[in-house]
Amino acid sequence: MTIEIERAGEVLVLSPVGRLDSNNAGEAEKTILGKIAEGEMKIVFDFGRLDYISSAGLRVMLMAAKRLKQGGGKMVLCAMRDHIREVFEISGFLSILTVCPTRDEALAQVG
Amino acid sequence: MGGDVAELVLGLNNDLAEIHRLAERVEGFCEEAGLPMKTVFNLNLALDELLTNTMSYGGAKTVLVRIGLAPGRLSVVLEDDGIPFDPFHEAAEPDLDLGIDERPIGGLGVHFVKKMMSTTAYARQGEHNIVTLTMDLPT
Greatest mean pLDDT among B2-6, B46-50, B57-61 lies in B46-50
Note the pLDDT of residue A55. 97
**Could you give the number of structural domains in chain A?**
1
Domains and CATH numbers, chain B: 6-136 (3.30.565.10)
Q: Is A57 in contact with A28 (CB distance < 8 Å)?
A: yes
pLDDT in tens, B91-122: 788 999 999 999 998 889 999 999 999 999 99
Residues 6+ apart with CB under 8 A from B50: B78, B87, B109, B110, B113, B131
Per-residue 3-state assignment (H helix, E strand, C coil) for B43-98: HHHHHHHHHHHHHHHCCCCEEEEEEEEECCEEEEEEEECCCCCCHHHHCCCCCCCC
Range of the structural domain that residue A19 is part of: 2-110
> How many Cα atoms within 13 Å fall on the side-chain side of residue B38?
10
- Helices and strands, counts by H and E, chain A: 4, 6
pLDDT in tens, A6-41: 999 999 999 999 999 999 999 999 999 999 999 999
Note the pLDDT of residue B1. 53
Interface test with B, best of A21, A36, A55, A67 (most B CBs within 10 A): A55
For residue A21, which of A49, A57, A50, A48 has the smallest C-alpha distance? Answer: A57
Q: What ipTM was estimated for this complex?
A: 0.92
Contacts of A95 in chain B (CB under 8 A): 97
Note the pLDDT of residue B22. 97
Contact A56 B37 (CB under 8 A): no
Contact A23 B96 (CB under 8 A): no
Radius of gyration of chain A (CA): 12
> How many Cα atoms within 13 Å fall on the side-chain side of residue A7?
5
Cβ–Cβ contact A56 with B under 8 A:
yes
Cβ–Cβ contact A54 with B under 8 A:
yes
Name the residue of chain A whose CA is nearest to B19's CA: A23
For position A76, which CATH number holds? 3.30.750.24
